[in-house]
Structure 1
Amino acid sequence: MSFFRRLFDTRARQALDAEVQGDLRKAAYLWVDMGDPGKAAELMTRLGEQAKNVEEKVQAWVDALRFMPPDREDGRRDLEARIGVAVLESARERGAVSADAKRKLVDAAERLERAEKWVEAADCYELLGRNEDLARCLEHAGEIERLEKVLETTHAKEQRDARLRRLVSEQEMATRVGARDVARRALREATLLAPSDPSIAEMLRRIEEKWPRGRRLKLDVGGARVGLVGSLPAVIGRSDADVVVRGGSVSRRHCEIARREDAVVVRDLGSRNGTLIAGVPIAGEIALSGPTEIGLGDDVSLRVSPGAQGIAIDVLRGLDRGERVVAGEAELRVAGLSATFVFVDDRAVMQPDAGVSVVLGAQNVAAGVDLLYGDVITVGGVRVEVLA
């Protein structure tokens, strides 16, 4: 604009007055109105320099960029760089956690790239976790050493992510076919690779809370309750026992059943009302020659039946009449069910007999099933539920 127009144009005087008074935005808009966007861009650039917070700086420089004539490339690059660096510094200080903060940081990175500020653009992409863009900008900047570290980290992350995907897929397949131990081990490894992933932690928590504890299990087999005890001796008593039998004459730990070589023996554990065979209290340890009725005091009686695949203990009289427990150290078999049960380490495993169909949930299963509380399994047409 000519000197004389500045001198006599009312808007020019208003713009100069506004500039003197510090109202740079008003002055800028007046210069734009007078057809001098370059002057307006200069004033808005100054306004951004004077601003006290990032938001005001960025807004002023965005307006300056909007006013800057297209042919002033150096000025436009300078403003792009100013905006990008301001947002980057704010993100370093405050973090880029929210979606809005990330969006602003992406915009800043793109502006810095246009301004050919490759290192600063790389810093933006690093905060965003965009390693491919980070590597590209470092390559432009010639930051070879940092680039090599990024590539190493990226390769390690890709390997970790690939392993994590394989583990999650492995646990999904294992869970479907009943191989819960395989699924649990896969999830435990996955949590080490991704400790902050809540979905993996939740999958592991769900399987761990349903995992049977100890070597005891209760089943509902076709409507009948059956207990499994995977160790001998098996203590029978009112509480704190492997086989819990309720009754007024039953001591907390009343007697125990054990194997001695090829014989099954019963031993009283100092009970208050005695362990009776044929109505006579036993003293010490008695070997059983076959199915034998045993009294626990006056009001509870059991039948103990030795077998090759577990010792069956049936409650004949008392509050738990009709219940059965099968105890042993190897494979256990439940009458009427075409499967065996075994406790392996901390697992309870059901193995169907050859050729017997097994359905776990809605999935046909061809091998053994690691049992969890709440499982419902159909074995050769018989419904089996694992009770908690």
Structure 2
Amino acid sequence: MSWLKRIFDNRHRRARAAEGAGQWRRAAALWAEAGEPERAAEALIHLAERGGDLEMRLEAWYDALRWLPEDEEERREEVERRMGMAVLEDARTRGAASAEEKRRLAEAASRLERLDRGVEAAEAYAMLGRKEDQARCLELAGEVEKLEALLSETNEADRKETELRRLLGDYENALRYGARLEARQALREALRVSGEERSVAELLRRLEARMPPRDRVVLGVGGKRLCFVGSLPAVLGRGDEVEIRVRGTSVSRRHAEITLSGGKLVLRDLDSRNGTLVRGVPVAGAIELAGPTEIGLGDDVSLEVRPKEGFVVIDVRSGFDRGTRVIVGAGALRCAEVAATITFDAGWAVLTADPGASLALDGQTCALPVHLLLEDRVEVDGVEVEVLS
């Protein structure tokens, strides 16, 4: 078609009019109808360059590539470069979180690499966490210093990942076999290595949430509640801060104190509101008790206390906690129901089976003492023990 005919051809006039009105996609369609694919491509490229929504711009560039002749290699490469850079710039600004955004960025990285834009391709691969692809692009681009830094960073990351896997394995094994102090230490170290990784922090939080209160653990054995307290002297009362909590309407927050002195059990009233009684008789100050003795805290709670070698056994006979047995002392604590001792390691309750007695934690045989956690189920020589609180 001659240049003169082009000027007066109706489709050409409408295409130029659409361009003048800023209707670039319509102009592209009209140029295509007029048999001018290159002009159609230019209209679409102009539309993409005007900015706006990334999806719209990419669609315009894709359509432009369909109209550009295959032998226009330089022009086609320029369009692809602009597409890749537009996606990369968008990722720099907004990130690439969704699956679609990651797919689009990966496509842009591949396109930029194919066009020998190694530095930009490496940046895109870095955003995707694809270290090997990033290294390859930096090598192709001749970015020696950046490549060396990446390799050093990758080696350090691999070392940390290996160390983290080892520590988490140590945690799982220690947890399974009852070595909970070691499990907690492994998690604390894993948290440091991982840079405060949220999932590791959550594992540590859950473990520590299952630790019984310091110097105290309540076990369920054969329907009985056995409370072990690892400190003497010990205060009895209804307050939350006392070592031995006994509830009753006549019990003071800090009612009385017991201790062992020279192998003798000593009871001291702590100026309680309703008094402390020994065999029904009110006492003032401290009194030494010999053998099993009934004591009262006010008029609605009665206890039987029995001194043992190194610890004291207290049975609650009446009151809200009737039926509870408390074993209190500063050393190894025992009860007749279980062939084991309870001690406290830095405040944490530890169950140690007697020599020759079998010990299993949640069905797993244990050769070493178990640091107890809430909800643990332990079996000692066939006797089931549940950690209640």
Equivalent-residue separation in structure 2 for 1:146 and 1:207 (angstroms): 42
Deviation at 1:247, TM superposition (A): 4.3
How far off is 1:16 after superposition? 4.7
Q: Distance in 1 between matches of 2:23 and 2:321?
A: 91
Is 2:360–2:378's contact at 8 Å kept on the other side of the alignment?
A: yes
> Does structure 1 residue 269 correspond to structure 2 residue 270?
yes
Matched with 1:76 is 76
Whether the aligned pair in 1 keeps the contact of 2:168 and 2:186 (CA below 8 Å) is yes
SS at match of 2:146: helix
The Cα shift of 1:195 comes to 5.5
In structure 2, the CA distance between the partners of 1:23 and 1:330, relative to structure 1 (3 Å rule), is same
Deviation, structure 1 residue 202? 2.8
Aligned to 2:295, the other structure's residue is in SS state strand
Partner of 2:259: 258
C-alpha distance in 1 between matches for 2:88 and 2:356: 67
Question: Do residues 137 (structure 1) and 137 (structure 2) align?
Answer: yes
**Counterpart residue number, 1:200:** 200
Deviation at 1:230, TM superposition (A): 0.2
Corresponding letter in the other structure for 1:159: R
| Cα distance in 2, alignment partners of residues 329 and 157 from structure 1 | 47
Q: Which amino acid aligns with 1:203?
A: L
- Please tell me whether residue 185 in structure 1 is matched to residue 185 in structure 2: yes
Task: Identify the range of structure 1 (89-98 vs 248-257) with the bigger mean alpha-carbon deviation.
Answer: 248-257
Deviations 1:26-64 (A, max 9, x none): 343344455553443333223322344433332222211
TM-score relative to the length of structure 1: 0.88
Q: Which letter maps to 1:184? A: R
User: What amino acid does structure 2 have at the position aligned with 1:385?
Assistant: E
Q: Say if 1:237 and 1:251, in contact at 8 Å, map to a contact too.
A: yes
Find the counterpart in structure 1 of residue 60 from structure 2: 60
Q: CA deviation at 1:84?
A: 0.6
The alignment partner of 1:226 has SS state of: strand
**Could you list the runs of 5+ residues in structure 2 that have no partner in the other structure?**
none
Percentage identity across aligned positions?
Answer: 51
Q: Give the partner amino acid of 1:101.
A: E
Amino acid at match of 1:377: V
**Alpha-carbon distance in 2 for matches of 1:202, 1:374:** 18
> Against the structure 1 CA distance between its residues 4 and 317, is the aligned structure 2 distance closer, same or farther, given a 3 Å change threshold?
closer
Query: In structure 1, what is the equivalent of residue 146 of structure 2?
Result: 146
Give aligned pairs, total.
388
- Displacement of 1:301 in angstroms is 3.7
**Counterparts of 1:189 and 1:266 in 2: how far apart (Å)?**
45
Equivalent residue letter for 2:234: A
Q: Which residue of 1 aligns with 2:209?
A: 209
Aligned residue in 1 for 2:112: 112
CA distance in 1, matches of 2:318, 2:59: 87
Compare 145-154 and 34-43 and name the one that shifted more. Answer: 34-43
**Closer, same or farther in 2 for the Cα pair 1:290/1:9, shift >3 Å?**
same
CA distance in 1: counterparts of 2:18 and 2:256, whole angstroms: 102
- SS of 1:158 mapped into structure 2: helix
Using the alignment, how far apart are the partners of 1:203 and 1:137 within structure 2? 38
Q: TM-score, normalised by structure 2?
A: 0.88
Q: Is the 8 A contact 1:80 1:114 kept in 2?
A: no
More displaced, 75-84 or 89-98?
89-98
Q: What's the offset of the Cα at 1:102?
A: 1.9
Aligned residues of 1:238 and 1:253 also touching (Cα < 8 A): yes
Quote the Cα distance in structure 1 between the aligned partners of 2:200 and 2:154: 22
Q: Distance in 1 between matches of 2:178 and 2:161?
A: 26
Which residue in the other structure is 1:102 paired with? Answer: 102
Deviations 1:266-298 (A, max 9, x none): 233233454444555445444444333334455
Partner residue in 2 for 1:313: 314
Q: Does the aligned pair in 2 maintain the 1:168–1:186 contact within 8 Å? A: yes
CA RMSD across the alignment: 2.8
- Is 1:227 the equivalent of 2:231? no
Amino acid in the other structure paired with 2:98? S
1:353 match: 354
Cα–Cα, structure 1 residues 351 and 79, in superposed 2: closer, same or farther, change >3 Å? same
From the superposition, tell whether residues 271 and 50 of structure 1 become closer, same or farther in structure 2 (CA, over 3 Å).
closer
Deviation at 1:221, TM superposition (A): 1.3
Alpha-carbon distance change, 251 to 196 in structure 1, aligned in 2, over 3 angstroms: closer
For residues 65-122 of structure 1, the C-alpha deviation after alignment (integer angstroms, 9 at most, x for no partner) is 2222223322222111110111111221222223222222111111111211111112
Q: What secondary structure, in the 3-state scheme, does the structure 1 residue paired with 2:338 have?
A: coil
Please tell me whether the aligned partners of residues 263 and 309 of structure 2 are also in contact (alpha carbons under 8 angstroms). no
Tell me how far apart the structure 2 counterparts of residues 263 and 136 of structure 1 sit (CA, whole Å). Answer: 79
Contact 1:15 1:30 in 2 (8 A): yes
Query: Which residue of structure 1 aligns with residue 342 of structure 2?
Result: 341
More off after superposition, 145-154 vs 19-28: 19-28
Give the match for residue 244 of structure 1: 245
1:175 partnered with 2:175: yes
Q: Hey, what's the Cα distance between the residues in 1 that align with 2:310 and 2:2? A: 110
Task: State the match for 2:46 in structure 1.
Answer: 46
Kept in 2, the 8 Å contact 1:309–1:333? The answer is no
